Amino acid sequence: MTVALGTIEHVESLILKVETDEGISGIGEGAPFEFVTGETLETSLYVARMLGNRLIGEDPLAIERIHHLMDKTIIGNSAAKAAIDIALYDLQGKWLNTPLYKILGGYSNTFITDMTIGIDQPEVMAQETKEKAEIGFSILKIKAGNDPEHDIEAVKLIRQAVGNRVRLRMDANQGWTSGQAIRVIREVDQYRVDAIEQPLAYWDIDGMKYVRNKTSIPIMADESVHSPIDAVKIIKQNAADMINIKLMKSAGLYKAVAINNIAEAAGVPCMVGCMLESKIGITAGASLVAAKRNIMGADMDSFLYVKETGISGGLSLQKGVITLSEEPGLGITINI
């Protein structure tokens, strides 16, 4: 898949197990993404081992304390920390004999996910979108940001190909300048695009606010928001209409919940996206989507591209609708 940040040829992720002296265990996943989290599989493995050693003897239910200890041990490294965080929530679910989506709030157990269309020739993107719509996906996320003219042409052909039966979002992955963003957004407005994700470089909050003020399609912050602190900055500056939370940016569920709480209180809806997680990380993210009323969108498709062996249970996906398992925790068993 090609996005404005680069082309992803293959994926590897970190699967982690937390064991307790009471015999209960939890599994988690870290999907490092160099362009966004600054981690590779090797660095996240190294850091996860280091954190694991630091946490031996701690109470696995004391998740606030464990995040504090992890952050005191090493800054950043959010995918490595997410692997531990997810495993702790899975463990908590098993301890309480309760599915994770209920532990996180239990608003619902099901939701619609979008499907991502990578950057390609506009005709190819239109054909792919049509195929995804035909198998039941009703929300498609169009990757953009390499070339404004190409992006406009792609959305035009896609809308022509699928008619009005699907909803479209665009994700520029930081690829545009503010001038390009304004031009593309004004142009694609006629093709009914629901949201524009991360038009500018992640650090350019002033620019995002400027683009938002000059255009009418809602702007969603993704790479600009990793932590609850980032969410406060975006909200204080009125720079975005929505926030895309990802567990690999937020170091897992604990801080993802905090981001959503901040956003909800400010009247800013969230969605939950993904890096390239397998079903383990995606079931964790999906549990959060289902659990929270303020999380109104989901991009939980990456596990479809990941070859999984020895992973069973977790969420199920049918015609673009994800339903969570009623098994405790993530409801996933691994046999690796």
Q: Would you tell me which residues interact with Mg ion (CB under 5 A)?
A: 171, 197, 222
In whole angstroms, the minimum distance from the beta carbon of 276 to Mg ion comes to 12
Alpha-carbon distance of 334 to 308, in angstroms, equals 10
CB 147 within 8 A of CB 177: no
Nearer to Mg ion, 197 or 277 (CB): 197
108's tokens: 């619902």
The CB-of-169 to Mg ion minimum distance in angstroms stands at 9
Residue (222 or 230) nearer to Mg ion, CB: 222
The DSSP bridge pattern shows strands 14-19 and 25-30 to be antiparallel
CA pseudo-torsion sign 110, 302, 143, 172:
positive
Smallest separation (angstroms) from Mg ion to the CB of 244: 6
End-to-end Cα spacing for the chain: 27
Q: Give the residue with the Cβ less far from Mg ion, 47 or 221.
A: 221
Q: 39 or 197: whose CB is closer to Mg ion?
A: 197
Cβ neighbours of residue 152 under 8 Å, at least 6 residues apart? Answer: 184, 187, 188
E strand spans, the chain: 2-3, 6-7, 14-19, 25-30, 110-112, 115-117, 139-143, 167-171, 193-197, 219-221, 242-245, 270-272, 295-298, 311-313, 316-318, 321-323, 332-334
Determine the residue with CB nearest Mg ion: 222
Q: How many CB atoms lie within 10 A of CB 296?
A: 14
Q: Specify the 3-state DSSP secondary structure of 232.
A: helix
> Which of the residues are catalytic?
143, 171, 197, 222, 246
58 near 84, Cβ under 8 Å? no
* Beta strand 316-318 pairing with 270-272: unpaired
Chain centre distance of CA 85: 15
Q: How far is the CB of 125 from Mg ion (least distance, A)?
A: 16
Report the length, in residues, of the chain.
336
CB of 296 to Mg ion, least distance (A): 16
Residue number, 29 or 223, with CB nearest to Mg ion: 223
Residue closer to Mg ion, measured from CB, 39 or 171: 171
What is the smallest separation between the CB atom of 260 and Mg ion, expressed in angstroms? 17
